[in-house]
Amino acid sequence: MTTASESFAPRRSEPIFGRLAIIGIGLIGSSIAHAAKELNLAGRIVLSDRDEAVRARARELGLGHEIAETAFEAARDADHIILCVPVGACGAVAVEIALALKPGAILSDVGSVKNAVVEAVMPHLPEGVHFVPAHPVAGTENSGPDAGFPSLFLNRWCILTPPEGTDATAIARTRQFWEGMGALVEIMTAQHHDLVLAITSHLPHLIAYNIVGTAEDLAAVTQSEVIKFSAGGFRDFTRIAASDPTMWRDVFLHNKEAVLEMLGRFSEDLSVLTRAIRFGDGETLHKHFTRTRTIRRGIVALGQEKPETEKLRKS
């Protein structure tokens, strides 16, 4: 980890928020805690998790300044509260902390699905409290308090989906907080977010979960051969398919419409490729693979992925 004098992003002389509360100490919650402390984004950082063992581990790791026993205690008097729990738990946590929220506080979350979170949280939002939902498009396949690191959000997008009529200052301060951690911020509606993420993140995860499951089920390919020859493409899918089961169960249950829409389009396109293979239509296959190669090069050019040669030099 970097020291304060050699931080991965500029350290602020004045914090953005007085008291920051982080509910849920997993990969995302602990990464925010590391970054916010290292970069002085909040004067006091209080974390909480429903799991006692996780709270104990967070204390050992020195995450934030204080570990509270309950979400309510953590949220009391906080200026910025971030729900870092699975999407399906956001509504229940909002109910739990509602009476602890002070007027003017900014409530946020990091859920990978936005519309369902907005619908679950908004009815419990007390008068005078602002809600600015966020989704950092950054992560790894690891979970828990040990998985976090401060530079997780550096040069990664964080999408804010404030409901119509949200206070402009609350949006600006939330933006400032994420930019303070090195993220690039974009604002869109929750509905648009869910559609975009269905194709860029949710569907790829579903395909990875499916292909790894299929390979495991195949009686003709032994377990050891799957592992031995995994560099042929399978290995990249296994990394994605190792992602947290609870988090991903909730993503599919709460972004059902958009995922089903994208899955329908995916199946149609797959039929085109299937036909091309069946009828020996090399031209269709070559054209398709050339188009997809351009997309990959575009992602590298935008700095959202390193070129393969650089990755090889580093490993």
Beta partners for residue 81, in sequence order? 21, 107
* Least spacing, CB of residue 308 vs ligand NAP, in Å: 22
x/- site string to ligand NAP, residues 223 to 262, per CB under 6 A?
---------------------x--x---------------
Which of 9, 20, 22, 25 binds ligand NAP (CB under 6 A)? It is: 25
Phi, psi of 110 (to 5 degrees): -130, 15
Residues 136-155 that bind ligand NAP (CB under 6 A): 136, 139, 143-144
Q: Return the range that interacts with ligand NAP (CB under 6 A); candidates 58-66, 73-81, 131-139, 168-176.
A: 131-139
Residue 128, by phi and psi: left (phi above 0), alpha (psi -120 to 50) or beta?
A: left
DSSP 55: H
Check if the beta carbon of residue 133 is closer than 8 Å to that of residue 107.
no
| 134 touches ligand NAP by CB under 6 A | no
Could you say which of 11, 51, 242, 252 contacts ligand NAP (CB under 6 A)? Answer: 51
Q: Strands across the sheet with 157-160, in order?
A: 134-136, 157-160, 184-187
Determine which residue in the list 11, 12, 50, 256 makes contact with ligand NAP, applying CB under 6 A.
50
Tally of residues, the chain: 315
User: Six-digit token pair at 12?
Assistant: 């602020």
Q: How far is the CB of 13 from ligand NAP (least distance, A)?
A: 29
DSSP state letters, 227-243: HHTGGGTHHHHHHHHTS
Contact 17, 42 (CB under 8 A): yes
Contact pick of 23, 75, 78, 116 for ligand NAP (by CB under 6 A)? 23
**Contacts to ligand NAP from residues 148-207, by CB under 6 A:** none
Name which of 145, 160, 266, 146 is nearest 205 in CA terms: 266
CB of 297 to ligand NAP, least distance (A): 24
| Stretch in the footprint of ligand NAP (CB under 6 A) among 4-12, 105-113, 173-181, 261-269 | 105-113
The alpha carbons of the chain give a radius of gyration, in whole angstroms, of 21
Of residues 33, 42, 45, 49, which one binds ligand NAP by CB under 6 A? 49
Toward ligand NAP, which CB reaches closer, 24 or 162? Answer: 24
DSSP letter assigned to residue 226: H
Question: Which residue stretch of 85-93, 191-199, 214-222, 259-267 sits at the interface with ligand NAP (rule: CB under 6 A)?
Answer: 85-93
**C-beta of 16 vs 68, nearer to ligand NAP:** 68
Please report, as a single letter, which amino acid is at residue 83: L
Encoded tokens for 200: 């860029």
Q: Considering only residues 261 through 300, tell me which ones interact with ligand NAP, judged by CB under 6 A.
A: none
3-state secondary structure of 129: coil
d(CA 158, CA 155): 9
**Residue 313 carries which side chain, given as an amino acid letter?**
R
With binding defined as CB under 6 A, does residue 93 bind ligand NAP? Answer: yes
- How far is it, in rounded angstroms, from Cα 39 to Cα 181? 7
By the rule CB under 6 A, 86 interacts with ligand NAP:
yes
- How big is the site for ligand NAP, counted in residues (CB under 6 A)? 29
CB of 269 to ligand NAP, least distance (A): 26
Residues of this chain that interact with ligand NAP (CB under 6 A) are 23-29, 49-51, 54, 71, 84-87, 89, 92-93, 110-112, 135-136, 139, 143-144, 244, 247
